[in-house]
Structure 1
């Protein structure tokens, strides 16, 4: 069972600091490889904070770690800017020159046995898909 939400992406202090150390580091993956969800969405999905979730959109899907945000509206989700968010927001710009960093409709599912890839594995999988 999945839950449909509106994805918002953005910069965070932790993401900015980790980016300075390198985008292929474990620290960077931890800083950007999560999805903030409301407590009620975690309940509906029957998962806990720290469990893996699959975030899917028209553009693609990615596995990240669920993070509870008690102040988050149940219809919203947040992923920090980075390679994980980029997979699901896509590159279409609708002639504005900027992808839709705010407002992409996604569906979130428990990831079951799917692992979260580290940044290098994620980028390799994207390059293989583009062939």
Structure 2
């Protein structure tokens, strides 16, 4: 069973710090490979915080770690800018020069038993179109 949501993305302080240490390092992976959501969405998916969640949009899909955000609005989820967000955000800029990083319709699914790919493996999958 999936849950519909609106996906947003953006920079975080921790993501920025980790990026400076190297985009292939464990710190960066930790700071960009999650999806924040409210407790209602987490419960509707049958997930505990930290369980893998599949985020699917018209542009692609990605498995990330679920993360509770007590301030999140029901139906709105957040993935920090980076390769995991890029996997589910379209590249069309509609002549603005910037893709839509906010307001992307998404569907979330419990992904128990699946693993979050490392940055290199995710990028390889994206390039190969698999």
Query: What are the residue-to-residue correspondences of 1:1-131 with 2, within 5 Å?
Result: 1-129=1-129
Runs of at least 5 residues in structure 1 that lack an aligned partner in the other structure: none
How many angstroms does 1:46 deviate by? 0.6
Deviations 1:12-31 (A, max 9, x none): 00000000011111110100
Q: State the alpha-carbon separation in 1 of the partners of residues 121 and 26 from structure 2.
A: 12
Please state whether the residue corresponding to 2:88 is helix, strand or coil. helix
* TM-score, normalisation: structure 2: 0.97
C-alpha separation between the residues in 1 aligned to 2:47 and 2:129? Answer: 29
Name the TM-score, length of structure 1 as normaliser: 0.96
Q: Give 4+ residue runs of structure 1 displaced > 4 Å after superposition.
A: none
CA offset at residue 71 of structure 1? 1.5
Question: CA-atom RMSD, angstroms?
Answer: 1.0
Task: Give the drift of 1:112.
Answer: 2.5
Cα deviations by residue, 1:28-59 (Å, 9 ceiling, x for unpaired): 01000000010000110010000000000000
Higher helix share: 1
Please give the alpha-carbon distance, in whole angstroms, between the structure 2 residues aligned to 1:12 and 1:113. 28
What is the number of residues matched between the two proteins?
130
Give 3-state SS (helix, strand or coil) of 1:61's partner: strand
Gaps of 5+ in 2: none
Q: Give the distance between the partners of 1:112 and 1:50, measured in 2 at CA.
A: 10
Aligned-partner Cα distance in 2 for 1:36–1:75: 11
**What is the alpha-carbon distance in structure 1 between the residues aligned to residue 56 and residue 24 of structure 2?**
23
Distance (Å, rounded) in 2 between the aligned partners of 1:125 and 1:113: 19
